[in-house]
Amino acid sequence: MAVQKIIDKIMYMVYVVEDCFMKRCCLIGLILFLLSLSLVVAQERGERKRGFYIDVGLGFGGISYFGGDTKTIADTFNETADMRLTMDMSLLTIGWALTQNGYLVGTIAGVGDAYIDSEMNQSQLSIGMFGIGTRYYPLPSKKHLQLGLDVGISEIDVLHDEKTVSSDLGFSSRLSAAYDFDSTMTGLTVLLGGTVMLNIIERDTSLSYALFLKLAFK
């Protein structure tokens, strides 16, 4: 039963990040996705030339807050929490190859930092980001290494007592490195890697880190 409650909380964390920030981004993401469908049809799986790219993923890690109201809130939540769970969510990344080594992408991502007490009540800090970036394969002869960089706008959402308060917009950047299990130029693949995300929002700074697993089509 306890395991099921934890699973329910993880799914709720995903919902909160999506619900708070993603309401502002879902329309843009839907338009990008629909436009990309025609590109998928045009790109034959396994062909040697790179084209369309899409990935989604989930990771677990941690986050540090450096001063400001956000750190104060996090410290307050932590005082009454029996468990803390931090998730990194790559909700949607879509792009197109500019070269045979790199893609230009748009990404919607987030970090959920949940504080759960003994009765499974939850408070949460969530950071949502909408940005642009690149996915790059630096070693053409060894196609397993993928590097990523994203920059964009972001906001913090604070969930407590079933109420949500959102910050003004700020800035976030993400770096990632992953192992691509498919050595071919195109096709369905799995990515295993790590990411760090720097956030500067309303003069508050935070840094998250996580190990992730992604499903991608390149």
Q: How would you write 42-84 as a 3-class SS string?
A: HCCCCCCCCCEEEEEEEEEEEEEEECHHHHHHHHHHHHHCCEE
What domains are defined for the chain?
2-217 (2.40.160.20)
Residues 2-7: contacts with CB under 8 Å, at least 24 apart: 5/120, 6/85
Structure confidence at residue 16 (pLDDT): 46
Q: Cα(19)–Cα(54) distance, rounded to whole angstroms?
A: 22
Structure confidence at residue 51 (pLDDT): 87
Q: List, for residues 9-53, the tens digit of each pLDDT value.
A: 555 544 444 445 545 555 455 555 555 554 554 444 445 678 899
Q: List, for residues 130-144, the tens digit of each pLDDT value.
A: 999 999 999 876 779
Structure confidence at residue 162 (pLDDT): 78
Residues paired with 127 in a beta bridge: 111, 156
Q: Which residues of the chain have pLDDT under 50?
A: 1-3, 6-7, 13-19, 22, 27, 38, 41-46
Q: Cα(159)–Cα(194) distance, rounded to whole angstroms?
A: 27
CA–chain centroid gap for 65, Å, is: 18
Structure confidence at residue 88 (pLDDT): 95
Q: Are 179 and 192 in contact (CB under 8 A)?
A: yes
Structure confidence at residue 113 (pLDDT): 95
| 141 φψ region: left (φ > 0), alpha (ψ -120 to 50), beta (else) | alpha
CA distances 199 to 3, 6, 27, 34, 119, Å, are: 32, 27, 24, 30, 31
Q: Which residue has the tokens 């410290």?
A: 75
Structure confidence at residue 187 (pLDDT): 86
Structure confidence at residue 49 (pLDDT): 79
Beta carbons within 8 Å of 218's beta carbon, 6+ residues apart: 50, 52, 53, 103, 180, 182, 185, 186, 187, 189
Structure confidence at residue 129 (pLDDT): 95
Q: Are 199 and 169 in contact (CB under 8 A)?
A: no
